[in-house]
Structure 1
Amino acid sequence: MQTIKSFTPATTVVLQWLVWRKYFDWRIWASLVPIVGGILLTSITELSFNMFGFCAALFGCLATSTKTILAESLLHGYKFDSINTVYYMAPFATMILAVPALLLEGSGVVEWFHTSPSLISSLVLIFGSGVMAFCLNFSIFYVIHSTTAVTFNVAGNLKVAVAVTCSWLIFRNPISALNAVGCAVTLVGCTFYGYVRHMLSQQPPGTPRTPRTPRNRLELLPLVIDKLDDKV
């Protein structure tokens, strides 16, 4: 799963480039190589291929990229804030997940309620997980609002490398030399990406090589016609 998920920054860039016609400096593309490659090295020793799992992870990767791109469009193009974005996305997420949750986990939840020694503790666990989910989504949209969708996904890859490193430093979990090299490569790639983003942010507004975020409804549509885009 982590191997496929490591491609999320790359798929985010490719989708924005192909569908939203957003330009990225060549250094952004170059920085993705060590980021993705490092995570591949970190997780390849635990690779156990399964076609169904592979397809599910790949679909999740594409869905995550699309979600972050749309969130960036709302936050930057329509000037939403983090709370408003959660407010509008949460009902749709509930509708999408309600039916699978009832079919796959409904009986288990009912049995858990019946066997739990205290109903209040069960409700507290459910409510607490909801609060944590809200905080997670709020922080995700806050990061995307402050940066970009690509930066958020790069930070996600950095999280994997940091988690592996912390598991070795704190819990003394053994890691192979290949895992260590992968973490180091990922950290170098993330550092290079941060440097590139900083350099691009120093360019004057309107510089052709500055990555552009969709700023109106027309630019949210795929395959925007250049002439119409210029009129807007």
Structure 2
Amino acid sequence: MEEGVLFQWSVFRSLLAIIQWWSFNVTVIIMNKWIFQRLDFKFPLTVSCVHFICSSIGAYLVIKVLKLKPLITVEPEDRWRRIFPMSFVFCINIVLGNVSLRYIPVSFMQTIKSFTPATTVVLQWFVWRKYFDWRIWASLVPIVGGILLTSVTELSFNMLGFCAALFGCLATSTKTILAESLLHGYKFDSINTVFYMAPFATMILAIPAILLEGVGVVLWFQTHTEVFSAVIIIFSSGVLAFCLNFSIFYVIHSTTAVTFNVAGNLKVAVAVLVSWSIFRNPISAMNAVGCGITLIGCTFYGYVRHMLSQQTPGTPRTPRTPRNKMELLPLVNDKLNDKE
């Protein structure tokens, strides 16, 4: 009975985490696109740096001032060995996402981001030598096919934005796997992760932002007509980015890397509809079909992962996929006993 209640609470907590992450994610994406397109503030490094500054301040206030969470002490060696690499990858992920938003529509960028489950599987197979059932590989076919169809038929195609979004998928997969290892292996909570990660990310981005975009930002301040309201919007996106960063690690802590990526694809439809209603970017019929195929592939991928995770030790398996080489949903059983 207790195990059943614990499992139900785990599922409910995971759903709440995913819903709040969806809300913050879509809002931040729309605001960033508004900043680049409507405010003509075309400086993705600076916007990313503002986001991490707000995250650093927010985490400090929560832990040091409001004391809503106790500070988890981390040795300086572990900060540089564990947290700095994740911060670096997280920076790359955020910057690539903002660069892609500058050059391509939200709908196209979000569809490309649906490629993330494929990059996660390939990365875990190639680097971490994890093995997957053939049905996992088969479920990736419609995802890849839908991405290709969407890219070929995209009316607002831009190569730089496309490449930024595509490499962002790889950065997202790497970041998610590293974050899961940090959160579970070292018993980190969400806010402590942001507390240690955001200052590193700010430090990494500050110098490139000043060198590459400093002159343009100063010129923008001199020529923009409504600077005060624009700055309010930019820093509001930073506050929401702090909430988003918190929710990202909360989702990872409440679920797993693959669940996080699959849940991310389910929000694509909402992001596409919201962005289209605001920005009215042109979408062809074949482009919509490609996006639909991608979402169907992501849904099928999640279904396959769920079915494999439900198989009992006595379930027959093919000789080519021995159980000791089968990759199921990682850390599911451990997580039921690892709730705070």
Q: TM-score, normalization: structure 2?
A: 0.51
Distance 1:79 1:20, change over 3 A: farther
Provide the rounded CA distance (Å) in 2 between the counterparts of 1:105 and 1:194: 41
Structure 1 residue 199 corresponds to structure 2 residue 307: yes
Distance 1:126 1:176, change over 3 A: closer
- 1:43 aligns with one of 151, 160, 164: 151
Provide the rounded CA distance (Å) in 1 between the counterparts of 2:297 and 2:273: 16
Alignment of 1:172-183 (within 5 A): 175-183=283-291
Structure 1 residue 71 corresponds to structure 2 residue 179: yes
- 2:202 aligns with one of 75, 86, 94: 94
Provide the rounded CA distance (Å) in 1 between the counterparts of 2:158 and 2:282: 23
Structure 1 residue 211 corresponds to structure 2 residue 319: no
Alignment of 1:63-142 (within 5 A): 63-113=171-221, 121=229, 124-142=232-250
SS state at 1:69 partner: helix
Provide the rounded CA distance (Å) in 1 between the counterparts of 2:228 and 2:277: 38
Distance 1:107 1:172, change over 3 A: closer
SS state at 2:218 partner: helix
The C-alpha deviation readout for 1:105-126, integer Å capped at 9, x for no partner, is 2233334445667876565334
1:60 aligns with: 168
* C-alpha deviation, 1:134, in angstroms: 0.9
Amino acid at match of 2:131: Y
SS state at 2:214 partner: helix
Alignment of 1:146-157 (within 5 A): 146-157=254-265
1:189 aligns with: 297
Is this contact kept in 2: 1:22–1:211, CA < 8 A? no
Amino acid at match of 1:98: A
2:30 aligns with: none
Distance 1:173 1:100, change over 3 A: closer
Is this contact kept in 2: 1:38–1:185, CA < 8 A? yes
* C-alpha deviation, 1:22, in angstroms: 2.6
Is this contact kept in 2: 1:39–1:160, CA < 8 A? no
Identical residues among aligned pairs (%)? 81
* C-alpha deviation, 1:104, in angstroms: 2.3
Provide the rounded CA distance (Å) in 1 between the counterparts of 2:282 and 2:164: 29
* C-alpha deviation, 1:70, in angstroms: 0.7
* C-alpha deviation, 1:213, in angstroms: 4.2
* C-alpha deviation, 1:97, in angstroms: 1.0
The C-alpha deviation readout for 1:138-163, integer Å capped at 9, x for no partner, is 22222222333233333444444444
Structure 1 residue 144 corresponds to structure 2 residue 261: no
1:218 aligns with: none
Distance 1:56 1:35, change over 3 A: closer
1:34 aligns with: 142
SS state at 1:24 partner: coil
The C-alpha deviation readout for 1:26-48, integer Å capped at 9, x for no partner, is 32222222223223323321274
Distance 1:150 1:104, change over 3 A: same
The C-alpha deviation readout for 1:76-101, integer Å capped at 9, x for no partner, is 33232221222222122112211111
**Runs (5+) with no aligned partner, structure 1:** 215-232
Q: TM-score, normalization: structure 1?
A: 0.71
Distance 1:79 1:25, change over 3 A: farther
Greater relative contact order (CA < 8 Å, ≥ 6 in sequence): 1
